[in-house]
Chain A
């Protein structure tokens, strides 16, 4: 089933899922959605399995032509999505028809948007994942970013489209993207490579996201962080969110396409529940680090997971409160949704 034809590819549009796990010990990067939170919400809205693939849009989104009826949902950065030239609502499952044109502009807030299609994206998994790993030229759409003319087909939706349209994320689950991000970290594994002053600089300064920011790492610019024992370590493992500080003292936060091992001292690691913020920080945005203890980080992770686990039920309750009708007038079918307004 063909659904979307790429008219313009946008700045960097790739197919991503939850990543290629199980091969890091062999030097294989995980890849996967940079902002797992928004990615999971997009899949939830169209009732895909959580590990199903979606499109990841970067800074400037694509123009896509709809070839077959389907349901889509857009989450994450606000690139001003439009359907046939009219603003399209985000964080909600929307029906699209053949001939519709879905377009995006430059991101106003945030760096990456996710576009999920009911039924997922039909590309062959490579090493157990549909994620595009650009440097390795594998996964996703022929191992590369999308180009004009590419046709993306979906799988078969698990539910009738009528039971998907209008599903939305309650506003309290959607964070504001205002360009200033407080990111919580746990110090280590090599915080002892830095002077007390260096750690203080790291935690008390504002760091600006540079344009040299990609799926591998978010490079920052700000007051240099002082090393005590030098920047080089004997290469060891790099988890997602690791904050490397090379010799120039400017931190780099490692993201989805990071290499598995590396030789720069890591002052801290961004906690799992805040990593999405780094993925959404666009060049020019400000990041401020705050240290938390490990028990605090685990508590934050527990809350994050519980929110995600409860969300499908909350989405369904919200949807059930609305009345959905199909009305036929003069041979044309109209979809009507009746929602109680609160004043």
Chain B
């Protein structure tokens, strides 16, 4: 982590505030805190913001908010950040059916790591994963903290079609495909929950700074949840992160 954030111009209408040059939850927490503080500040001239692993991209209107004023303001907020009462992160509980037709690579992941499929599921569901950022595709979460015991290289030949909701592993990462797409991740399961639906409010379910917890469900649960999702009656379970935990 840098002693003081770096301000990097990204053209005439955006600035990148960078807190460090590594993937690290503490750096990411500062990104998120600045994002939330600016969002609630209500100062005119700030547009969209894109929080990422270790930086915050801020669009601003230079006619309404001169850059030096914006930087002064960010530094003020930064100095005061620890005093801000920011909302506590939450855990999104994502139900997943593992293996079989929904997770065609579960056995390979197990074999590669000399585990049983049951152990892979146990390890994959044992961690709460920090959502560092969303990007790459609408609603795609960059998750941190997967156990190296289930790390598996990508497929040599990517699949041309991976259905939305597929849960996969790629090297040391795990993630969920929000939309149907081609890809080389090892697919170990699928969630009936829609991470992205342009016709729903909100269109994207997850947000950065919070956590994902995968829970293993049966085929029966899967179909029940899927039906509820399609009728818009499904509510994603959210838990508070336990303090000191």
Contacts and interface: CB of A to CB of B under 8 A. Distances in A.
B79 interface: no
Nearest to A269: B11
29 contacts: A25-B48, A25-B50, A26-B134, A26-B138, A26-B203, A26-B207, A27-B140, A28-B203, A126-B199, A186-B9, A187-B9, A189-B9, A189-B10, A236-B52, A236-B54, A237-B14, A237-B55, A238-B57, A239-B13, A241-B11, A261-B135, A266-B10, A269-B12, A270-B11, A271-B12, A294-B9, A294-B67, A298-B67, A300-B12
A161 interface: no
Contacts of A294: 9, 12, 67
A127 B203 contact: yes
Contact of B13 (A126, A238, A301): A301
A225 to B, nearest CB: 18
Contact of A261 (B21, B133, B207): B133
Interface in B17-34: 18, 21-23
A242 B13 CA distance: 11
Contact of A27 (B22, B67, B204): B204
Nearest to B50: A237
Nearest to B178: A27
Contacts of B54: 234, 236
B12 to A, nearest CB: 4
B16 interface: yes
A297 interface: yes
Contacts of B16: 189, 236-237
A25 B53 contact: no
How would you classify the secondary structure of chain B's contact residues: helix, strand, loop or mixed? Answer: loop
A28 B204 contact: yes
Interface in A244-275: 259-262, 266, 269-273
B219 interface: no
B208 A188 contact: no
Interface in A93-144: 126-127, 136, 138
Interface string A5-31: 000000000000000011111111100
Most central of B63, B133, B179 by chain A CB within 10 Å? B133
B139 A27 contact: yes
Given A26-B204, A26-B207, A235 B12 contact: no
Contacts of A239: 10-11, 13-14, 57, 59
Given A127-B198, A127-B203, A186 B12 contact: yes
A260 B198 contact: no
A279 to B, nearest CB: 15
A158 B112 CA distance: 66
Interface in A272-319: 272-273, 294, 297-298, 300-302, 305
Contact of A235 (B13, B133, B138, B203): B133
Contacts of B67: 294, 298
Nearest to B141: A27
B57 A237 contact: yes
Most central of A127, A261, A297 by chain B CB within 10 Å? A261
Q: Which 8 pairs of residues, A with B, have the shortest CB-CB distance?
A: A237-B57, A261-B135, A269-B11, A189-B8, A237-B50, A297-B12, A26-B204, A239-B14
